[in-house]
Amino acid sequence: MLIHLKYGTGEVISLKRSAKRYMVLFSLVGLALISWAGIELFRPLDKLPLGQSLKISNISCPSDKDNDGVSDLQDIVNGARAEVNRKPQYRSAYYQRGFPPDNEGVCTDVVWRAMRDAGYDLKSLVDNDIREHPAKYPRIAGNPDPNIDFRRVPNLIVFFRRYGTELTKDIKPGDAENLYQWQPGDIVTFDNPHEHIAIISDKRRKDGVPYLLHNGGPTASETNQLQSWPSKITGHFRFPKF
């Protein structure tokens, strides 16, 4: 039912039609106020111009353990990529003397092989630290086993916390300041139920988030899984400490 009013001019106006006019007027006024306040209603979420990539500079690493003219961090990246190119099959096994054959490995094998290319013997470093400070390594439960200790993620977390630099675990796509802290050659660890360790690659997405060099099966690979690995990040380290 419509209600009509008769004004002095004799014109009959529908209140329903008048209400619609007021709604349109109020909407226009509201949009004008929003525009005046500088609020961008339709600003894209991506901070980058279409087609452009966020540029993240690499940190200057002063250490060159093997004196080959390549910094330790870059050597670690090169070693991890060499592992990816070899494509060892993922196989979790126990090996006498500790080392699996070159065509086999798990996530931890990417790390010690990459560090070997930089001049570091991760097995000896971990074994020595466990022998001298066994209470620091709860995973060994008082029973060190040099055949496997350096290939266990919890032990490596303890080692890198002690002898590396522990860094942010936050990842902010498109944020250059945050992503500068995620450098090629850094090491990242993940929690159960998909316990894992990986090396940060020098390859990045357009929004600056780096790829991983790792072995999560079926072979070692370079993948865009820093944010999508199915377990939370437990550690982010840079070795050596400088």
Q: Three-state SS for 17?
A: helix
Residues 85, 78: Cα–Cα separation, whole Å: 10
Q: Tell me if 198 sits within 8 A of 113, measured CB to CB.
A: no
Query: In tens digits, what is the pLDDT along the chain, a chain of 242 residues?
Result: 444 444 444 444 444 455 455 554 555 544 444 344 443 333 333 455 566 899 999 999 999 999 999 999 999 999 999 999 999 999 999 999 999 999 999 999 999 999 999 999 999 999 999 999 999 999 999 999 999 999 999 999 999 999 999 999 999 999 999 999 999 999 999 999 999 999 999 999 999 999 999 999 999 999 999 999 999 999 999 999 99
